[in-house]
Amino acid sequence: MMRLLTKTTLYFLLAIIPLLAAGGFYLFYQFNKELNHEMDAGLLNDELQWVSYIAEQTENSGPFILKTPELLIYPVNDVTTIYPRITDTQQFQAIVNANVPYRQLSHVLFIRGVPYQVIIRKSKVQQSVVVSNVTRVMFFVFTGLFIITLLFNWFISKGLWKPFQRSLEKIRSAELQKMEAIYFDSNTNVKEFNELNTALNSMANKIHNDYINMKEFTEDAAHEMQTPLAVAQSKLELLLQDTNLKDEQAAAISEASTAIKRLAKLNQSLLLLAKIENNQYETNETINFNTITTKYIRLFDEIIRDKGVAIETQMVADFNIRMHPLLAESLVSNLVGNSVKYNYPGGKILVSITENKYSISNTSYLPAIETALLFKRFKKIRAEGDNSNGLGLAIVKKIADTHQLVISYHAENGMHQFIIEKNN
């Protein structure tokens, strides 16, 4: 993962390497050609000078041989070449103990009517110096370019990308409930950023509207349902007042009334879930779970005693968390309630609270909850006489998830345990 600018710079540099190499090669080729040309001209000139010098010096002598490391003249019988031939060659040099490249001119010409083979050589060592020079220059250019682009990269990302960074920061801190307060500046001096920010603005706007619509719809639907339920409930209650009713008739009406109550509760639970999902329970309040747990244990005290359930509480430290009191109560009452409801007469409940860990275990005849069904809506434990709506643990899970809490479940030796841990 790298910055966009680093990436473009890298591609740019990668593209420039062959270009620089080609440039270097061409430069070298041109230099070489030029140098050879110069050298050849030099060789021809040398030959001319030597020949006229020798012709002058050997005016009265017979045939001769001249031999220096760079010059060789000796008489030959047959005239093989009449044009000078210039070639590249190697010659061993004792000083450096290696073959050294030479440029060599070989020519047969007549001095005072006698054919002579003339060979003149010139070292090409400087030429390899030129090559290394060219390479070095290329290297410097490349490094310079690299450093300058990196510096540019840094400066540009500091300045040019500022509007982008600002938008990014806004997106990061965006909250679903406060979408209408977000505005992305679409008046920067970069066209792309303006386009991006305009798009972001319309997106934020749409999200806000959708959110409001959905929120209102969910709430309105839930509330609209409560009124007819209230009507039905009240009519059944009035009907029950008829003293002429037979017991079975009264029981049937009462059951219908209970069903309506359950429907109303289900409706409220679904609304609660939706509202948690919509983050409608923002708060700055810090809640002490110990207090709430104690409150609910006291509230359920009679039932606990009536069932003969032994409850043990180990509150080592305060478990504090930022949470809306309603959600905290919902979470604790669900867990404590379940531990009582699904317990058996004479069973046990163990509540253990430390600073970062909140745990409730209880005995139960029920088998362990399957992981796949745990915390799933309506996947309730089918227990006899159970009037739960199967949303309790889903609500617990949802509350935990939205408050950086990790909830886990273990079942061992007939003990069912729920653990809530702070995720930090």
Partner 1 sequence: MNLQAGGGRGLSLQISIIFMDMKILIIEDELALQQSIQKYLEHQGYVCEAVGDFKKGIEKINSFSYDCVVVDIGLPYGSGLDIVKVLKEIESRSGIIIISARNSLEDKLEGLEIGSDDYLTKPFHLSELNARINAIIRRKNFSGNKIISFQEIKLHVDAMRVTVNDKTIELTDKEYQLLEYFIVNQRRMLTKPAIAEHIWGDEYDQVSNYDFIYTHIKNLRKKLMDAGAADYIKTVYGTGYRFTDN
Q: Which residues of the chain form contacts with partner 1 (CB under 8 A)?
A: 219, 223-224, 226-227, 229-235, 237-238, 240-241, 243, 247-248, 250-251, 253-255, 257-258, 260-261, 264-265, 268, 271, 275, 296, 299-300, 302-303, 306-307, 325-326, 333-334, 337-338, 340-341, 385-388, 392
Least distance to partner 1 from the beta carbon of 205, Å?
A: 26
Residue 106 or 257: the one with the smaller Cβ distance to partner 1 is 257
Least distance to partner 1 from the beta carbon of 10, Å?
A: 55
Give the length of the chain.
424
Least distance to partner 1 from the beta carbon of 232, Å?
A: 8
Residue 193 or 300: the one with the smaller Cβ distance to partner 1 is 300
Least distance to partner 1 from the beta carbon of 396, Å?
A: 11
Residue 121 or 341: the one with the smaller Cβ distance to partner 1 is 341
Q: Using alpha carbons, select from 86, 75, 85 the residue that is nearest to residue 110.
A: 75
State the CB neighbour count (10 A cutoff) for residue 273: 18
Amino acid at 176: L
> Six-digit token pair at 273?
């879930």
Residue 215 or 422: the one with the smaller Cβ distance to partner 1 is 215
Please state the separation of Cα 46 from the chain's center in Å.
Answer: 71
Least distance to partner 1 from the beta carbon of 336, Å?
A: 8
Q: Is the dihedral of CA 183, 186, 188, 192 positive or negative?
A: positive
Please state the separation of Cα 402 from the chain's center in Å.
Answer: 23
CA-based end-to-end distance of the chain: 26
Residue carrying structure tokens 């600002």: 166
Residue 134 or 332: the one with the smaller Cβ distance to partner 1 is 332
Residue 296 or 418: the one with the smaller Cβ distance to partner 1 is 296
Residue 59 or 247: the one with the smaller Cβ distance to partner 1 is 247
Residues 6+ positions from 156 with CB-CB distance below 8 Å: 5
Residue 264 or 374: the one with the smaller Cβ distance to partner 1 is 264
Residue 67 or 305: the one with the smaller Cβ distance to partner 1 is 305
Residue 59 or 302: the one with the smaller Cβ distance to partner 1 is 302
Least distance to partner 1 from the beta carbon of 244, Å?
A: 12
